[in-house]
Amino acid sequence: MSFENYPSAENTAKPDNSWQTKKRDYLIALLVIALLGTWAYIIWDKSQTRETIQQKDLVITNTSSERDQLKKELEEATMMYDQIKTHSANMVQSKDSTIFRRDREIREKQNKIQQLLSKVGATREELAQAKVLITSLQEDIQGYRTKVETLQAEKRVLTEEKRSVTQQRDNFQRNFDSANNVIMEKEGVIDIASTLHASNFSILGINEKNGGKEQVTTVAKRVDKLRISFDIDENRVAQSGEKKLYICITDPDGKPLAVEALGSGKFSTRDGAQKYFTHKIDINYTQGQRQTLSLDWKQNSSFATGEYKIEVYNNGFKIGEGIRILKKGGLFS
């Protein structure tokens, strides 16, 4: 039996089968490694996702808590601002430009903060912006309160000054009124004291004869006119100058003799009554001197019998009077 030095078919197939096995083992190992890596990645990714979710939840929680805190700070600032406005309503309504400007700025800032905090998905940047605005708002409100307090202090000072000035004015007015009353009283006394006085009345019935001759008579039917004369006594109070005298004649029937065509009229007495005057005389009086006056009264109708009363008025006062009785003529009158 001979042996040849050649490999048999069985011997050549074994190496090939071993390589295939190795390749398969390598592939399985790679698949296992890949699967393990995939699982590891999935586990790591889930871990990261969970961590991210936790972080997001934490951020959301922190954001919500921060927003709630900011809302609380805004409410406190708003409450303080409202209290200041309530206790100083007259200052807020005043025309001070600084108060108006700060009030407008505070309202605008409040609205802006409210808009930021009202957002459902407000970011941290927006909350940070809101926080800065709240801090600024608090400073504005503090400045607003300081300004209001300053104005209130100034108002108190002005009120006190006004009260003092009003009191001084009232005192001055009282003093002035008192002095004015004294002056008026003195002027009244002087005015009364300066009223003239008439005396030495002479009232004559005059009968006018032919040729211009005159004859005194007491017979009524012969009297053509009344000649009235009297003295204005000296007065050292009355100032020199023009004085008005009103002559009032009353007939026997008690009626005033007043003929408008002859210059008669009315004047006011010191008590405010209206009185008819028969004749008015303007005289140029000299202070402290006696002066004699004379006038004739002639009427269109004849004189009646009885008592004629002549009164003289100056400065609203009666300063003197005289009487003349005219008789009825007898057989040989």
Tell which phi-psi region holds residue 170, choosing left (phi > 0), alpha (psi between -120 and 50) or beta.
Answer: alpha
**What per-residue confidence (pLDDT) applies to 234?**
94
The overall average pLDDT reported for the chain is 82
Q: Please, which pLDDT band fits residue 290 given cuts at 50, 70 and 90?
A: very high
> Which domains does the chain carry?
19-152 (no CATH), 198-326 (2.60.40.10)
Q: Which residues contact 66 (CB under 8 A, 6 or more apart)?
A: 124, 127, 131
Q: Is the pLDDT of residue 144 over 90?
A: no
Percent above pLDDT 90 for the chain: 35
Beta bridge partners of 242: 284
CA distances from 312 to 93, 266, 267, 288, 319 (A): 70, 13, 12, 19, 6
* 77 close to 138: Cβ distance less than 8 angstroms: yes
Q: Is the pLDDT of residue 147 over 70?
A: yes
Which tokens go with 61?
């929680």
Which tokens go with 6?
């050649």
Determine the average pLDDT of the residues in 37-64.
Answer: 67
Least confident of 119-123, 278-282, 326-330: 119-123
**What per-residue confidence (pLDDT) applies to 294?**
95
**What per-residue confidence (pLDDT) applies to 1?**
44
HEC states along the chain? Answer: CCCCCCCCHHHHHHHHHHHHHHHHHHHHHHHHHHHHHHHHHHHHHHHHHHHHHHHHHHHHHHHHHHHHHHHHHHHHHHHHHHHHHHHCHHHHCCCCHHHHHHHHHHHHHHHHHHHHHHCCCCCHHHHHHHHHHHHHHHHHHHHHHHHHHHHHHHHHHHHHHHHHHHHHHHHHHHHHHHHHHHHHHHHHHHHHHCCCCEEEEEEEEEEECHHHCEEECCEHHHCCEEEEEEEECCCCCCCCEEEEEEEEEECCCCCECCCHHHCCEEEECCCCCEEEECEEEEEEECCCCCEEEEEEECCCCCCCCEEEEEEEEECCEEEEEEEEEEECCCCCC
Helices 97-118 & 9-87, crossing angle to 10 degrees?
A: 150
Q: Please, which pLDDT band fits residue 39 given cuts at 50, 70 and 90?
A: confident
Determine the average pLDDT of the residues in 252-266.
Answer: 91
